């Protein structure tokens, strides 16, 4: 069968025109529906949601924006948020998160997209000042905002409403966490020993924040800044093994290692073993092999941020705002859990239940 190129062109043109018309139609319909459902400007989301829930029994919907779907830490955040959504009967939680990490810009975009749907409330990870515009939009349109995980930098925001959100967040103060971790780690190394921090996402506020918090933590314990070396790593464990092994070969004075994720923590254990080194090691977050590595001393300390609790309490806070109109729900610190050989068994049980990561 032969097809005339002009008829093919006409057919394509028809398809394109149809698609454009359909798009315009759908857009107009959406605008119309949005106008029908728009809220009075004066009402706060808490008022509206509470009255809606009370009068009609309708469920309260909120959006929870994660930062990276499929990652162990973020799987726990998702699970905590979803389980909290199920535990509060009239609350409906919608979860959204990027599937790949391409920088904070993508997290901001997902947050903006969530806010654009005009939910009653939205839970956001405050990854930096670039979140301000999105949060301002949310607050201006009457969407309640709950910060979780990262929030400390929000206190520096020019918008006092955003700064205020930091005191009602549900998450860990990374500066305090890193200082606590460094203090305990100092028992395994001597003050002034050369340490190395492997940063798998250099240049990102989250990772640079953890890196700088560790440096500050060790400085407060008597280390000099240049005694805490920083080396970039990647998100590929196999590549990280080569990077860490090469680093330790080139820097035999290294006396301790800090890896703030499983993608570098596991490789650090392997690199130490390959080189026959017995160096103290901090890792973050959990994977299957972490427990055995902690038990046999290959990992000195594992930092568990208790992500499940972070998101669970964030949702609980949102519910309190939406259901009862609380203006300033409490700041929730889910607690920094430093896993060592002494307490590893208890956490392993939680991990096997799927509520630790």
Partner 1 sequence: MQGLLIIVLAELRRIPGPNGCPVNHGRTLAGLVAAIIGVALVFNFLSSGKFIAESTALSVTNLAGPLGIIALGVTVLMIAGEFDLSVAATFVTAPVVAGLVMEDYGIDPVPALLLGLSCALILGFINGVLVVATGIPSFIVTLATLFVIQMFLRILLPQFSVEWNSESGLKDFLGGKLDIIPVAKSFAWLILLGLLLWFLMNHSRVGNWVYATGSRRGRPARAMGVPTRATKIGCFALCALLAGLAGIVQFADYGLISLTSGSDDNLMAIVATVIGGTSLFGGRGTVLGTLLGATLLSMFNIGLILSGVQGNWYFSLVGLLLLIAAIVNSRSQTRWRRGTATPDEERQTMVTAGST
Residues that bind partner 1 (CB under 8 A): 69-72, 75, 99-100, 202-203, 231-232, 234-239, 241-243, 245-247, 249-251, 262-263, 266, 287-289
The CA distance from 41 to 31, in Å, is 17
The DSSP string of 185-252 is HTTTS-TT-EEEEEESSTT-HHHHHHHHHHHHHHHHTT--GGGEEEEE--S-HHHHHHHHHHHHHH-T
Give the whole-angstrom CA distance, residue 238 versus residue 109.
30
Instruction: Decide: 65 and 107 in contact? Cβ < 8 Å.
Output: yes
Q: How far is the CB of 240 from partner 1 (least distance, A)?
A: 10
* CB contact at 8 A, 38 and 97: no
156 versus 242: smaller Cβ distance to partner 1: 242
Residue (138 or 286) nearer to partner 1, CB: 286
**Minimum separation from the CB atom of position 231 to partner 1 (A):** 5
Nearer to partner 1, 39 or 236 (CB): 236
- Strands (E) located in the chain: 60-65, 91-96, 121-124, 144-147, 194-199, 228-232, 254-259, 281-284, 301-304, 337-339
Which lies closer to partner 1 via its Cβ, residue 136 or residue 289?
A: 289
CB of 237 to partner 1, least distance (A): 6
Q: Which two tokens stand for residue 66?
A: 């994660």
In terms of CB distance, is 265 or 329 closer to partner 1? Answer: 265
**CA-closest candidate to residue 87, choices 328, 335, 355:** 355
Least distance in angstroms from the C-beta of 115 to partner 1: 22
- Minimum Å distance from CB 289 to partner 1? 8
Question: Which DSSP state fits 43?
Answer: S
DSSP secondary structure code for residue 100 in this structure: S
Q: Which is nearer to partner 1, 26 or 238 (CB)?
A: 238
Check: CB of residue 297 under 8 Å from CB of residue 350. no
Closer to partner 1 by Cβ: residue 18 or 249: 249
Q: How far is the CB of 357 from partner 1 (least distance, A)?
A: 9
Compute the least distance from the CB of residue 11 to partner 1, in Å.
14
């Amino acid at each position: 069968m032969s097809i005339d190129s002009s008829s093919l062109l006409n057919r394509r043109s028809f398809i394109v025109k149809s698609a454009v018309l359909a798009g315009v139609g759908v857009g107009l319909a959406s605008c119309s529906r949005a106008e029908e459902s728009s809220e009075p400007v004066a009402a706060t989301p808490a008022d509206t949601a509470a009255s809606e829930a009370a009068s009609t029994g309708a469920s309260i919907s909120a959006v929870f924006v994660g930062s990276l779907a499929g990652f162990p830490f973020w799987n726990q955040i998702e699970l905590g948020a979803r389980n909290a959504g199920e535990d509060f009967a009239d609350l409906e939680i919608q979860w959204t998160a990027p599937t790949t990490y391409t920088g904070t810009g993508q997290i901001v975009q997902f947050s903006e997209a969530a806010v654009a749907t005009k939910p009653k409330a939205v839970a956001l990870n405050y990854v930096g000042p670039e979140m301000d515009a999105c949060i301002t939009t949310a607050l201006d349109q009457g969407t309640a905002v709950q910060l979780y995980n990262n929030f400390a930098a929000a206190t520096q925001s020019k918008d006092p409403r955003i700064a205020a959100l930091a005191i009602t967040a549900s998450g860990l103060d990374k500066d305090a966490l890193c200082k606590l971790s460094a203090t305990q780690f100092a028992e395994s190394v001597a003050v002034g020993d050369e340490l190395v921090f492997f940063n798998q996402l250099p240049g990102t506020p989250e990772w640079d924040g953890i890196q700088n918090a560790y440096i500050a933590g060790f400085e407060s314990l008597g280390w000099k800044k240049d005694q805490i070396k920083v080396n970039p790593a990647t998100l590929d464990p196999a590549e990280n093994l080569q990077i860490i092994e090469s680093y330790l070969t080139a820097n035999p004075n290294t006396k301790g290692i800090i890896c703030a994720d499983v993608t570098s923590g596991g490789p650090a254990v392997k690199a130490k073993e390959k080189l026959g080194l017995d160096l103290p090691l901090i890792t973050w977050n959990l994977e299957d092999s972490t427990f055995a590595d902690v038990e046999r001393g290959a990992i000195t300390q594992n930092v568990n941020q208790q992500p499940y609790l972070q998101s669970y309490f964030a949702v609980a806070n949102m519910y309190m705002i939406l259901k009862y109109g609380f203006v300033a729900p409490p700041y929730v610190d889910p607690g920094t859990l430093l896993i060592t050989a002494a307490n590893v068994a208890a956490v392993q049980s939680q991990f096997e239940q799927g509520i630790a990561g």
